[in-house]
Chains A and B, each alone.
Chain A
Amino acid sequence: MEIIISNSSGKPIYEQITDQIKGHILSGKLQAGDTLPSMRALAQDLKISVITTKRAYNDLEEEGFITTVARKGCFVSATEPSLLRENNLKTAEEHLQKAVDLAKQSGISLEEVQDIVKILYEGE
């Protein structure tokens, strides 16, 4: 499982971990039933605190992405595609909110923002 931690992204490390594991699950790199490294092993590997990996795993578990089986480890849950879509929709909305806030502060019009979104979306 590939996880890349940036110290300069401004995003908390636990969030970087949850985002990337979610990404792996969404993209199918991690499948339902796959084993995740233990919290201690991941902390050792990424050279970060166990508290951080624990927080990331707890969040992932709360959101239904993984399940922890006592003494066996953490596994990728059988997630419903709709749950994943909803999750991403929420994240997309948050990002757009930031863009809109910034646009409002700087006097950028709705039309201009819509144009940018359209170009970005179709450019993909």
Chain B
Amino acid sequence: MEYAVKATGVCKDYGSFSLKSVDLEIPKGFVTGLIGSNGAGKSTIMKCLTGAVIKDSGTVEFDDGLELKEIGLVFDECPFPQYMKCEQLDGIFTRMFDGWDGEKYFAHLQQFGIDRKKKVKDLSRGMSMKLQVAVAFSHPTKLLILDEPTAGMDPASRDEFLDSLREYMQDEEHAILISSHITTDLEKIADYVSFMKNGQILVSSGKDELEESYGLLKTGGECPIDKELVICSRRSESNTVYLINDKAGVREAYPELVVDDATLEDIMVMFARGDY
């Protein structure tokens, strides 16, 4: 498989928080979703990829022919000058990006319902995310790195945004790395997912494989199945929920047990809050 970006053993120590030898591969032609709780390290690794944060060690390799300026970025905080009007940004980016398409930019502003006369600081959170998306879509890119791009967007806007990402992915030279707390967005858009916790990648896998393999076993009493298959568990007063591998195998071997499908959200919550 060809990679747009490949990070190997990336470390970054902030004292109170550190990235611990993160390996992350973003395959060309696919959407990779990054999932994890607040403070898991998603934004930090994204910034390490682009050089916005200087890593302590490890390597970040770009695909031949992918240049930094060909990466479209959306970060959780809008980085544009706060006191400028949206339409004035056109003048800045014309000078910044080769191939900046002003017409496209204004078309996106209109499509997203952003008032071009408004100042950046006066946009709501959802609107300022859309503004960043409009900028990312208005210069030639091969990779989009999107940190919580759907934060603050209403469901219809999110759906429209995901459609525009699907459109972007019609070119198989393109790739996307996207993080979101709205895991259903990732369920809809991601081809691959990586779970992060405490500055580490716990699991990276094809989304379909993950959904086919992971399940939630709900039972009282002792763990009734091979412990090798159990990833983690959460106990409550009335029962215990286990996050398990190979749910099809378990269902066949123990038809009497309750084994539910696990959504990305279920998996994330179990990873974040389960006992190992």
A binds B: yes
Nearest first, the 10 closest Cβ-Cβ pairs linking A and B are: A44-B166, A49-B191, A51-B191, A40-B170, A51-B206, A51-B208, A52-B208, A50-B191, A47-B188, A49-B207
CA distance A86 to B31 in the complex (A): 38
At the interface, yes or no: A12 with Cβ under 8 Å from chain B?
A: yes
Contacts of B172 in A (CB 8 A): 40
Contacts of B206 in A (CB 8 A): 51
At the interface, yes or no: A43 with Cβ under 8 Å from chain B?
A: yes
Give the contacts of B147-203 with A (CB-CB under 8 A). Answer: 162, 166-167, 169-170, 172, 188, 190-191
CA distance A41 to B30 in the complex (A): 13
If the complex has contacts A49-B207, A51-B208, are A43 and B166 also in contact, measured as CB distance less than 8 A?
A: yes
CA distance A31 to B206 in the complex (A): 33
Scan B5-25; emit 1 where CB is below 8 A from any A CB, else 0: 000000000000000000000
Q: Are A47 and B212 in contact (CB under 8 A)?
A: no
At the interface, yes or no: B29 with Cβ under 8 Å from chain A?
A: yes
If the complex has contacts A49-B190, A50-B30, are A40 and B208 also in contact, measured as CB distance less than 8 A?
A: no
Give the size range of A's interface with the partner: 10 to 19
Q: Which residue of A lies closest to B170 (CB)?
A: A40
Q: Could you tell me the distance in whole angstroms from the C-beta of A102 to the nearest C-beta in chain B?
A: 12
Contacts of A49 in B (CB 8 A): 31, 190-191, 207-208
Q: Are B169 and A40 in contact (CB under 8 A)?
A: yes
CA distance A49 to B166 in the complex (A): 10
Contacts of B190 in A (CB 8 A): 49
Using A12-B212, A50-B29 as known contacts, list a sample of 20 further A-B pairs with CB atoms less than 8 Å apart, ordered by residue number in A.
A13-B208, A14-B208, A40-B169, A40-B170, A40-B172, A41-B170, A43-B166, A43-B169, A44-B169, A47-B166, A49-B31, A49-B190, A49-B207, A50-B30, A50-B169, A51-B30, A51-B191, A51-B206, A51-B207, A52-B208
Q: Could you tell me the distance in whole angstroms from the C-beta of B257 to the nearest C-beta in chain A?
A: 17
Interface residues of B (CB under 8 A from A): 29-31, 162, 166-167, 169-170, 172, 188, 190-191, 206-208, 212
CA distance A12 to B208 in the complex (A): 9
Q: Could you tell me the distance in whole angstroms from the C-beta of B41 to the nearest C-beta in chain A?
A: 25
CA distance A16 to B212 in the complex (A): 15
CA distance A110 to B78 in the complex (A): 70
Give the contacts of A1-50 with B (CB-CB under 8 A). Answer: 12-14, 40-41, 43-44, 47, 49-50
CA distance A52 to B189 in the complex (A): 12
Residue of A13, A14, A49 with most partner-chain B CB within 10 A: A49
Q: Which of B170, B191, B207, B212 is the one whose CB lies under 8 Å from A44?
A: B170
CA distance A13 to B169 in the complex (A): 20
Contacts of B170 in A (CB 8 A): 40-41, 44
Q: Which residue of B lies closest to A40 (CB)?
A: B170
Q: Which residue of A lies closest to B165 (CB)?
A: A44
CA distance A67 to B188 in the complex (A): 28
Q: Which residue of B lies closest to A45 (CB)?
A: B166
Contacts of B188 in A (CB 8 A): 47
